[in-house]
Structure 1
Amino acid sequence: MDRLSGLDASFLYLETPAQLMHVCGLIVLDPSTMPDGYSFESMQAEIDRRVSDVPAFTRKLRRVPLGLDHPIWVRDRQFDIERHVHRLALPEPGGYKELVTLAGHLAGQPLDRSRPLWEMWVIEGYEGDKVAVFSKMHHATVDGVSGANLISHLCSLEADAEPLALGPKQEYGREPGRRELLSRAIVSNVAHRPMTAVKLLTPSAQLITRTVGRARTGTAMAAPFTAPRTSFNGTITGHRAIAVADISLDDIREIKSATGTTVNDVVLAVAGGALRSYLDARGELPDTSLLATVPVSVREQSKREGGANKVSALFAKLGTDVEDPLERLEEMSRNNRNAKDHHQAISADSLQDWAEFAAPRTFGLAVRAYAGLRLAEKHPVVHNLVISNVPGPPIPLYFMGAQILALYPLGPVFHGAGLNITVMSNHGHMHVGIIACRESLPDVDDLVQRFPAELAALKAAVIAQQTAKQLR
């Protein structure tokens, strides 16, 4: 029986018509590399061939009676590729604006829970001869790493090669009957959960004690509920706005090497600079730094075998209160070292362990009450936004034989944090994807276009510092 983990299921319970819990991707393709040329019908048929034996693409949810336990995955025996891979054409002139407008509209549509939780839209006519693919997969199915692994079923190293992950046929979990589901749920609720809760209390209390000690010595990660309020920190709607841009991965690596920092430090410092510039231009720049939640994969450290999501998170100040880009990077690097040390002291499975106690009915009602009462606008801001950095392929990849020119990841947004910035490296580029609640942050393109300028300013500051040292 393939039961959802508590963390996977929590993304189902968090979902409302406004707070959609799918992750998206916008892939730009060059169809001229396809060995037999492009046609939608052949691409749809090839996707069907590659996913037909992959449970993550062909399974659907089955609820436990009375909602007593987390749902299970079962095989969709009526799986039909035509319900998942669709065709669209961009209106004239078929440029960037038309593409991101369409992507924002698609991102705002919920997935059908009666079917496998994914969709793809093949979009023709982008910049004349290019094809774009807009994908959606529910967060209950994937996190950043597992999502990238799933995409590998559709990609290859050469235009005419087999996909990277096409291998032996994968097995589906056994499908239990209604009576078995109900009995298992009763045993879990009555016997196992209370005992597990007791086991979690002691390490959780120890963690709080250690965190207090770190805070006293100034080595704790930034604390939630300490973020300043901005225009994108309130109750969100279901409308989405999307913007994308490219920045140089070589420049990021040069800055990293010159300053002794990390790629993630540089990305966060650039994001902080872009947000500072954006808010300052609108007269909305807070006196204190914005606070970001940064998802962290714990796939290598986790002791749990099941579950698609194996993530934790740390909180990071983005230095939006620091004007000088190099000073911001230095502060970011120092704070991130403390945050990583603090995070490593937390069990890799702690978030997953506590998520097991999410009761489906209670959780869902609480989320709807939170949104309906607009509580995100009444308590201190937990965090301002989510920022993710997803490692991508260092070499060219081909999607159904078409070379991938760009791959922009897009995560979910939440009540209280209506902005998500995700970056992904790909063959020498860093692709930046921004998605936001359209009412909270309507001009996302203005924000994303500040990323290249901020990277250039940081690189110039590093060069100036090196030159000054050489002249001494």
Structure 2
Amino acid sequence: MHALSPTDSAFLWMETRSQPMHVAGLNIFTPPHGSGPEFVHQLLAEWSQHVKAVAPFNLRPVLRMGLWHWEEDKEFELDYHLRHLALPQPGRIRELLAMVSRLHANLLDRNRPLWEIHVIEGLPGGRFAVYNKMHHALIDGVTGARMAANSMSDNPSELKAPLWALPFKHHPTAQRKTAAPGLLEQLASLAKAGKEILPGVGSGLWDIVRSAYAEGATALPFQAPPTPFNVEISGSRRFASQSYSLSRFKRIGEATGATVNDVTLAICAGALREYLLVQNKLPKKPLIAMVPVSLHGETSAGGNQVSLLLASLATDVADPLKRLQRIVESTTEAKNRLTKMPRLQKMAHGITSIAPLGAGIVTGTAEKHPLFNLVISNVPGARETLYLNGARLDEVYPVSIPTHYLALNITISGYADNLGFGYIACRRSVPALQRMLDYTHNAIEELEAALGLEEPKPKARKAARKTVRKKAP
């Protein structure tokens, strides 16, 4: 039995029927050349031979003495977790995103290990999709992307065991057990942790206190204006996704001195601005985004290793280049502060600075006084082309978590030379979510036009227009 960290446990405590706490990935594949329509059935038949799961896929959550623990499921049933689905005709991306929207709205069963894998066939040209769904208490976005990549290969001839049968050494439940530390060692470890955590708590509290009078590029809690996204949500979901060439983002960054992450935020800001303008609900103050910051590069520990920063999206600025400049100023200031902190201090700072969100959700004050307006996350992915038992991975889309008073979540995942945008929202609170795909496309072209960048080659341009029309219903 393995105890969950406080951060991981929080995702179990926060979960309700209207607020599922699982994340997912939608991967779209092309079968190997020459394979027939039976490829998906053969893949599932091979996977079905792996009836035993390794940690963390064989673990279910149990509550002991008020604390959550992982416990091995002695009655593990693969048939429950591995599911085979087919799209209704005509089997377009539209039907796929509608199916993912419904699947993502369903809670995971806590009596079983908290994951499901849905293999979905019926896309044109024999293509198929795999929707991997896991609880956020089990993994964060970076870990999930690493696990998915670990189950594939850059060699189309290589056959690998499925995700649940592959050991993943970076998860805490898969770490080799060592002798328990002595009392003095434990006390020294606690003292060291406290030395880092307490300053993080202090700086997080100070951000809350000074938010009322801080000026300049700094984005702080409670500076966000009320928006249609900051409302109580239902349990229904709508998902929209689209891939864009990473090279376009790099060219914009090179021309402006911005990072790809900053360009991504600026494009999201442009899309959000147009969405709210169309609805005549654009606030005068700029929207504030919470941006998770992965700390996996600073530790070998598993579980959720994340801090956060708040960034102004400058949605009150009409000029796209000035908007990008404001965003760069905001993120640079936030990153400079985080860089100076040790890992545990970063985590404590992030958790403390958004701690009032819980009280705001319970009391309903988060609608008129939001800490921030939405979450925008960027998850790194594999740079090389990957294959699943010979099937080429074409597109990767993350599917994240909307919550009460944060009805829209945007997560971007890199893969090869593409960035996959995944928009997930409460179906009732955020109407016409599919229009965000058009607005994202417009925001990219707006920046390119403002910079005088050359138009993409005709062939690439044609492909981009073709994919932009693939929307959720």
Report the TM-score range of the alignment, normalised by the length of the smaller protein.
0.7 to 0.9
- Give the C-alpha shift of residue 76 in structure 1: 2.1
- Give the C-alpha shift of residue 99 in structure 1: 1.2
- Give the C-alpha shift of residue 338 in structure 1: 0.6
Contact 2:204/2:349, CA 8 A, preserved across alignment: no
Q: Using the alignment, how far apart are the partners of 1:207 and 1:384 within structure 2?
A: 18
- Give the C-alpha shift of residue 110 in structure 1: 0.3
Contact 1:297/1:310, CA 8 A, preserved across alignment: yes
1:276 to 263, 273, 276: 273
Q: Using the alignment, how far apart are the partners of 1:244 and 1:157 within structure 2?
A: 24
For structure 1, which segment, 440-449 or 40-49, has the greater mean C-alpha deviation from structure 2 after superposition?
A: 40-49
1:109 alignment partner, SS class = coil
Task: Give the match for residue 462 of structure 1.
Answer: 451
Q: Using the alignment, how far apart are the partners of 1:34 and 1:22 within structure 2?
A: 37
Contact 2:208/2:221, CA 8 A, preserved across alignment: no
Stretches of structure 1 lacking an aligned partner (at least 5 in a row): 176-187, 358-362, 466-472
2:384 to 376, 395, 411: 395
Task: Give the match for residue 6 of structure 1.
Answer: 6
- TM-aligned CA distance change 1:237 to 1:257, over 3 Å: same
1:295 to 292, 295, 300: 292
Cα RMSD over matched residues?
3.5
- TM-aligned CA distance change 1:413 to 1:92, over 3 Å: same
Q: Using the alignment, how far apart are the partners of 1:390 and 1:206 within structure 2?
A: 26
1:440-451 pair list within 5 angstroms: 440-451=429-440
- Matched residue type, 2:326: E
Task: Give the match for residue 366 of structure 2.
Answer: 376
- Matched residue type, 1:153: N
Task: Give the match for residue 92 of structure 2.
Answer: 95
- Matched residue type, 1:63: L
- Give the C-alpha shift of residue 199 in structure 1: 8.2
- TM-aligned CA distance change 1:429 to 1:50, over 3 Å: farther
- TM-aligned CA distance change 1:428 to 1:84, over 3 Å: same
- Give the C-alpha shift of residue 196 in structure 1: 7.9
Task: Give the match for residue 77 of structure 2.
Answer: 80
Contact 2:217/2:329, CA 8 A, preserved across alignment: no
Contact 1:317/1:332, CA 8 A, preserved across alignment: yes
1:16 alignment partner, SS class = coil
For structure 1, which segment, 393-402 or 308-317, has the greater mean C-alpha deviation from structure 2 after superposition?
A: 393-402
- Give the C-alpha shift of residue 330 in structure 1: 1.5
Task: Give the match for residue 156 of structure 1.
Answer: 153
Q: Using the alignment, how far apart are the partners of 2:337 and 2:217 within structure 1?
A: 6
Q: Does 1:312 align with 2:312?
A: no
- Matched residue type, 1:102: M
For normalisation by structure 1, the TM-score amounts to: 0.82
Stretches of structure 2 lacking an aligned partner (at least 5 in a row): 178-185, 455-473
- Give the C-alpha shift of residue 411 in structure 1: 1.0
Contact 2:252/2:448, CA 8 A, preserved across alignment: yes
**Deviations, residues 331-365 of structure 1 (Å, cap 9, x unaligned):** 211221111012224442247559999xxxxx9xx
Q: Does 1:430 align with 2:427?
A: no
Quote the sequence identity (%). Answer: 36
Task: Give the match for residue 327 of structure 1.
Answer: 322
Task: Give the match for residue 179 of structure 1.
Answer: none
2:148 alignment partner, SS class = helix
- Give the C-alpha shift of residue 284 in structure 1: 0.9
Contact 2:59/2:71, CA 8 A, preserved across alignment: yes
Pairs aligned (count)? 436
1:12-27 pair list within 5 angstroms: 12-27=12-27
Q: Using the alignment, how far apart are the partners of 1:406 and 1:233 within structure 2?
A: 30
Q: Using the alignment, how far apart are the partners of 1:28 and 1:85 within structure 2?
A: 17
- Give the C-alpha shift of residue 266 in structure 1: 0.4
1:340 to 326, 335, 338: 335
Q: Using the alignment, how far apart are the partners of 1:173 and 1:258 within structure 2?
A: 45
- TM-aligned CA distance change 1:113 to 1:350, over 3 Å: farther
Task: Give the match for residue 408 of structure 1.
Answer: 397
1:151-300 pair list within 5 angstroms: 151-163=148-160, 200-201=197-198, 204-205=201-202, 221-300=218-297
Task: Give the match for residue 461 of structure 2.
Answer: none
Task: Give the match for residue 469 of structure 2.
Answer: none
- TM-aligned CA distance change 1:223 to 1:38, over 3 Å: farther
- Give the C-alpha shift of residue 326 in structure 1: 1.2
Contact 1:152/1:163, CA 8 A, preserved across alignment: no
Contact 1:253/1:263, CA 8 A, preserved across alignment: yes
- Matched residue type, 1:147: G
- Give the C-alpha shift of residue 255 in structure 1: 1.1
2:395 alignment partner, SS class = strand
2:441 to 452, 462, 472: 452
Contact 1:75/1:172, CA 8 A, preserved across alignment: no
1:257 alignment partner, SS class = helix
Contact 2:361/2:405, CA 8 A, preserved across alignment: no
- Matched residue type, 1:313: L
Contact 2:149/2:382, CA 8 A, preserved across alignment: no
- TM-aligned CA distance change 1:457 to 1:200, over 3 Å: closer
Task: Give the match for residue 464 of structure 2.
Answer: none
1:425 alignment partner, SS class = strand
Q: Using the alignment, how far apart are the partners of 1:167 and 1:275 within structure 2?
A: 40
